[in-house]
């Protein structure tokens, strides 16, 4: 079965709708355990950014957050000065 056909037959939760970004998140990220410390740190930071926003908004801005927070490198973040 080709990937396109497999994606058409993909069972998804109703909350992800038909947005391709949300579908990719649903299919590849949501509900999967995270064991990498840096990946988990990013996930926790993004979850904190969600306060009052929809998750799709966070997903759409994820690359901007990664740029702003030096790819969520905690060793760089703890060295931020007041200006940063």
Predicted local distance difference test score (pLDDT) of residue 16 = 86
Dihedral (Cα; 56, 62, 63, 64), 10-degree rounding: 100
Predicted local distance difference test score (pLDDT) of residue 32 = 92
Predicted local distance difference test score (pLDDT) of residue 33 = 93
Could you list the mean pLDDT of each consecutive 10-residue stretch along the chain, which spans 84 residues? 54 91 92 93 91 90 95 95 92
Number of domains, the chain: 1
Any idea what DSSP says for residue 62?
A: H
Predicted local distance difference test score (pLDDT) of residue 8 = 61
Residue 30, in any domain of the structure:
no
Reported pTM: 0.74
Let me know how long the chain is.
84
Domain around 67: 35-84
Q: How far apart are the first and last CA of the chain?
A: 49
Residue 77, in any domain of the structure:
yes
Predicted local distance difference test score (pLDDT) of residue 24 = 93
């Amino acid at each position: 079965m080709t990937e396109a056909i497999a994606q058409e037959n993909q069972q998804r939760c109703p909350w992800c709708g038909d947005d391709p970004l949300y579908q990719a998140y649903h299919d590849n990220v949501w509900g999967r355990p995270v064991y990498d410390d840096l990946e988990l740190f990013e996930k926790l930071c993004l979850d904190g950014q969600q306060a009052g926003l929809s998750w799709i908004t966070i997903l759409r801005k994820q690359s901007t957050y990664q740029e702003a927070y030096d790819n969520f490198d905690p060793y760089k973040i703890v060295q931020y000065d007041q200006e940063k």
